[in-house]
Structure 1
Amino acid sequence: MKVIPQRGKCSNAAMLLILSIFNVGAIADVVPADKFDLSEWNITLPTDENNDGKPDSVSVKDIQDFSHPDFFYLDENGGMVFTSPNKALTTANSSNTRSELRHMLRGKSTRIKTKSPKNNFTVASNPIAKRFGRVGGKMEATLKVNHVALRAKYPEKAPAYSVVIGQIHASKWEKKIKGFGWGNEPLKIYYKKWPNHEKGSVFWTYERNLPKDDANRRDIAYPVWGNLWTNPEDPGEAGLALGEALSYVVNVHGDVMYLTFEADGHETVEYKINLANAVDANGKLDEHDHPYGYTLDWNYFKAGAYNQCSTKDDPGFWYPACLGTGNWEEDKVNGDYASVTFTRLEVGESVAPKANHGEHAKIGATLNEKVGMSVSDIPDNALTAIKAIEPSFTVNEVEKELKHGNTYLDVEGVLADGREIEFDMLQVADKWKVVEIQRDLVWSQLPENVSGALKQSSPDFEAKRIIESVQHGTGITVYEFYAVDSQGKESRKEVKVEGGEAVVLAKEWQH
């Protein structure tokens, strides 16, 4: 590739003489830093123009005059484009390529080391929080995903066809202190679209803050729009198409990470999770996580295209063996890459969240009286009954409920493919039996006779949460619909399906 210096002489001569490439096909003589505030960002690219065997990195100082014609440039509308092929050089601890910005609180001041507290943020509970460049922080972005990889040898593996469009990363320390410094990620925001689907899914993950060799170290996925991880079902109208704009706000205030996701035609989705303890985003204690979360860690924001479609062929969870040659022109033609365009990217101080941020996740809770219990206290015969139905099921949380004169257990968790599911169990004498198998749905996933029956019966009822409840061993399925009025009061309606006939129930379904 011919290398042409751009906008004058570069200070980092050896590197920038090679990397400052004329921006063919984009806005002439204009680079991303002319349209976006990149005064605290550097970038890692899927290139090796200086032939040192490592992905190229452009500093905060040099990025002010930098673009790359293929992997980092402004499009004709002034959008900042990040592109990353499936096959290219990767950073030391990853098998995934990236065209991705890394936030640098130090700005251009290289006197402060990259891994210094002054260049990173932490949570308020860190005993040395005052030494950091910032306590908490906020990143806001608006973007569209242009393309995700089209080919994978193991399409059933979770990362296939996906790209991370924003994240918080913790620093990795050579010497770990009190179980911190593993370099894990408390946040990754994903977009994933299967090649045969019109629309893709948006979700985010929280990684348990544990050593790499700990079997419990895994990413816990939470839905935004559409499906999770390896669910091959078409998300339909619940999903987001390539080219559709979405926005996210990541606001780490005090110890808590507040997330907001917005897109036209979709419900705004909010979450919150404390990064200084082991309580998950559903408000339940995760007994496998570090008891103090990321309390002592040093964190930083990242944004761009972190391509998850690794070409590595390995039995591990993260390696879908996506196709790619390493020749960009060939890989581009074959669709073996990820590309994202940002129209807004801002970072700064955290702000106090609005009241009840993320409380939508508890819709339906006021209509049930449940008591949480430890996962370790689930009766053996209850777990045996579940495993007989779904051997791959992993328990995440358990609640006990008393209603209709009976005692129930609600056992929530995930299957091996990442799907979330709940088993409702009835106590009969000293044994437990599965009576319902539940999962959350969106409106577009409902059978037409079910949605039609509810609309005909209650045309003004706007469901904020929908649960499909298969009555185990009966041939009956009950669909539960929850609504919330302007005063926050919850209500419920149910539709029973038996023998293909959908009927709106006049009173709550009982076993």
Structure 2
Amino acid sequence: MDKKIIKTTSKLLLLSLFLIHIGCNTTPKKSSNKESDKTVYASDVIPFFNHWKLILGDGSNVGYAINYENKDFFYTVNEDSINWVVFKAPNSGETHGTSNNTRTELAQVKKWYPKTANDKLTATLKVMNVSATGDARVAASHAVVVGQIHSADKHENEPLKIFYKKFPGHTKGSVFWHYEINTKGDDNSKRWDYSTAVWGNDFSVVGTEANTYPPEPKDGIALGEEFTYNIEVKDGIMTLEFMSEGHETKTFTKNLIESEYITTADIPEQTKKLFVPIGQDGVELKEAYTEEGLFFKLGAYNQTNGKSPEVNRNWCSGAETHGGDIQKQYEDGNYAEVWFKTGEISINKNAVSNEGYFNKNDHVN
């Protein structure tokens, strides 16, 4: 055979082998799991965590929850390519401050005064679970608070609590909000709430027996159904806006610096039904919350607990707690769980440190 032909054939063979080798080496490698396994923190999802301290369902204050998670109480999930921040709180566990109830909740690190306020909080969320047990006659059973305005001073009462509540066996639950009076005098045991329905019922709609439930609300919100709340306090007036696809947008206002409950004659019928029979029949300071430093809260403040309804028919649910065993409560639905998709806070320049509130409450079980 001609030497030139042999040499050419050899070169072609070597070239083919080289191309095959390159082809093998350029076969796409399996992607590294390092990127997909990377933890997505709450502070990656909603970038406002420098404005809050996080209280967990075991009563602890973990401070600023930046690049932080706790798989029992506070973490993120991805659903249909959307990241959500999960707040979870059992029916029973260590509590924060003087409350009977557990919470996994953000508390604002600054406080502001309603008369000079120009402060806002907005959030989009869905409630994924409320307690499976609880006395149906107790107004707080099967409920969770998902947003608040709280006082940092004196009685530390709450001019706003936003509730979600759903009875077992119902598809739809209710969203409603509360105003708690800033009780006149030193006896805060006389305080009471006034409840206003947004979608569904208000707080006062309860069962006739421990396991007998009222009719399901026709215009309620289901577990897993998104809704948005906007809270604005400006020049002493609180404005609330609630929005959800397929539901009427609702707007409310409340004066925080001038009370409408300064005499016993001003006590509304709802309060006479719920609170007066158990001795909570106080009146409010004429100037309401004018002198109080206020701050926002956001998360899952579980309203269902294991305390006996004989103690307080409005707030003590008698629910299952498994002796405080958190995992057992999670296993059979005795907890509150709320997912937040978005959140935004706006704080006026007159706001001041809220450290005094934390110093007072972090050491109380």
Q: Is 1:295 matched up with 2:290?
A: yes
Structure number with bigger Rg = 2
C-alpha distance in 1 between matches for 2:88 and 2:42: 14
Q: Provide Cα deviations, 1:190-217, integer angstroms capped at 9, x if missing partner.
A: 0000002111000000001015735652
Contact 1:251 1:259 in 2 (8 A): yes
Report what 1:198 is aligned to.
Answer: 171
TM-fit CA distance, 1:328: 2.3
1:289 counterpart letter in structure 2: E
2:304 counterpart letter in structure 1: C
Report what 2:52 is aligned to.
Answer: 41
Contact 1:156 1:230 in 2 (8 A): no
Secondary structure of the residue aligned to 2:327 is helix
1:75/1:138 CA distance change after superposition, 3 Å: same
Q: Provide Cα deviations, 1:450-475, integer angstroms capped at 9, x if missing partner.
A: xxxxxxxxxxxxxxxxxxxxxxxxxx
Contact 1:273 1:279 in 2 (8 A): no
1:182-261 map, 5 Å: 182-210=155-183, 213=187, 216-232=190-206, 233-261=214-242
C-alpha distance in 1 between matches for 2:235 and 2:180: 19
Report what 1:28 is aligned to.
Answer: 38
Secondary structure of the residue aligned to 2:297 is strand
Contact 1:227 1:235 in 2 (8 A): no
C-alpha distance in 1 between matches for 2:216 and 2:248: 15
C-alpha distance in 2 between matches for 1:331 and 1:286: 38
TM-fit CA distance, 1:235: 3.6
| Structure number with higher relative contact order (C-alpha < 8 Å, ≥ 6 residues apart) | 2
Alignment gaps of 5+ in structure 1: 1-25, 48-54, 105-118, 130-134, 173-180, 351-511
2:60 counterpart letter in structure 1: D
Report what 2:247 is aligned to.
Answer: 266
Alignment gaps of 5+ in structure 2: 1-35, 207-213, 269-282, 349-365
C-alpha distance in 1 between matches for 2:186 and 2:94: 22
Report what 1:431 is aligned to.
Answer: none
Report what 2:105 is aligned to.
Answer: 100
1:60-459 map, 5 Å: 60=64, 63-76=65-78, 77-104=82-109, 119-124=110-115, 135-152=117-134, 154-172=135-153, 181-210=154-183, 213=187, 216-232=190-206, 233-279=214-260, 288-313=283-308, 314-316=310-312, 317-325=314-322, 326-349=324-347
TM-fit CA distance, 1:34: 1.4
C-alpha distance in 2 between matches for 1:277 and 1:96: 30
C-alpha distance in 2 between matches for 1:27 and 1:123: 45
Contact 1:255 1:276 in 2 (8 A): yes
User: When you count helix as a share of all residues, which structure comes out higher?
Assistant: 2
Secondary structure of the residue aligned to 2:221 is coil
Secondary structure of the residue aligned to 1:206 is strand
1:143/1:27 CA distance change after superposition, 3 Å: farther
TM-fit CA distance, 1:70: 2.3
C-alpha distance in 1 between matches for 2:87 and 2:97: 20
C-alpha distance in 2 between matches for 1:150 and 1:100: 21
C-alpha distance in 2 between matches for 1:318 and 1:42: 26
1:228/1:274 CA distance change after superposition, 3 Å: same
Secondary structure of the residue aligned to 2:70 is coil
Secondary structure of the residue aligned to 1:182 is coil
Report what 1:363 is aligned to.
Answer: none
Contact 2:148 2:162 in 1 (8 A): yes
1:200/1:75 CA distance change after superposition, 3 Å: same
TM-fit CA distance, 1:92: 2.8
1:209/1:194 CA distance change after superposition, 3 Å: same
C-alpha distance in 1 between matches for 2:306 and 2:74: 22
Secondary structure of the residue aligned to 2:44 is helix
Report what 1:355 is aligned to.
Answer: none
C-alpha distance in 1 between matches for 2:97 and 2:198: 30
TM-fit CA distance, 1:87: 1.1
Report what 1:407 is aligned to.
Answer: none
Equivalences, count: 281
TM-fit CA distance, 1:144: 0.1
Contact 1:142 1:344 in 2 (8 A): yes
C-alpha distance in 2 between matches for 1:278 and 1:236: 31
TM-fit CA distance, 1:57: 1.0
2:54 counterpart letter in structure 1: I
The TM-score with structure 1 as length reference comes to 0.53
Contact 1:33 1:64 in 2 (8 A): yes
Contact 1:46 1:90 in 2 (8 A): yes
Secondary structure of the residue aligned to 2:329 is helix
